Amino acid sequence: MAEKFIKHTGLVVPLDAANVDTDAIIPKQFLQKVTRTGFGAHLFNDWRFLDEKGQQPNPDFVLN
């Protein structure tokens, strides 16, 4: 059985968007693996970066 959630110690940020499409959360090009771990680096990839290669961060995105 999973351990109970007691306290969150990470950051909390506002995401000013309604009805976020699941393809925006984790874009489809990163869903090509069988495991359910390791997706964090691709979270909101298309919103976080200005270029397709993910090299230039978007300074206006709250998670950057």
What is the rounded CA–CA span in Å between residue 62 and residue 16?
Answer: 9
The pLDDT value recorded for residue 21 is 93
Of 51, 33, 29, the closest CA to residue 42 belongs to 29
Per-residue confidence (pLDDT) for residue 8, from 0 to 100: 85
| Average pLDDT per consecutive 10 residues, the chain (64 residues; last block may be shorter) | 86 89 91 86 93 92 90
Rg (CA), the chain: 14
